[in-house]
Amino acid sequence: MRQKMAEMVHRIQDEICQVLREIDGVDYRQDEWTREEGGGGRSRVFSDGKVFEKAGVNVSIVHGTLSPQAAKSMGGGHELKGADLDFFATGISLVLHPLNPMAPTVHANYRYFERGDGNKPGSWWFGGGADLTPSYLFEEDAIHFHQILKDSCDRHDVADYDHFKQWCDDYFHIKHRGERRGLGGLFFDDINKASREDCFAFVTDCAESFLESYIPILMRRKDLPYREEHKQWQQIRRGRYVEFNLVYDRGTTFGLTTNGRIESILMSLPLTARWEYCHEVEEGSEEARLLQYLRKPKDWLDQ
The answer to whether 10 is a known catalytic residue is: no
- Contacts of 111-117 with CB under 8 Å at 24 or more apart are 112/1, 112/2, 112/5, 112/200, 112/203, 113/74, 113/87, 113/88, 113/89, 114/2, 114/87, 114/88, 114/89, 115/66, 115/78, 115/80, 115/84, 115/85, 115/86, 115/87, 116/83, 116/84, 116/86, 117/86
Handedness of CA 146, 226, 222, 262 (dihedral sign): negative
224 contact partners, CB below 8 Å, separation of at least 6: 100, 102, 103
- Report the distance separating Cα 58 and Cα 52, nearest Å: 16
Q: What DSSP letter does each residue of 203-246 carry, written as one string?
A: HHHHHHTHHHHHHHHHHHHTT----HHHHHHHHHHHHHHHHHHH
Residue 118 gets which letter from DSSP? S
Q: Which member of 10, 97, 107, 230 is catalytic?
A: 107
* Cβ neighbours for 217, distance < 8 A, ≥ 6 positions apart: 103, 104, 132, 138, 141, 144, 145
Burial per residue of 197-207, b for 16 or more beta-carbon CB atoms within 10 angstroms, e otherwise: eebbebbbbbb
Catalytic center residues: 107
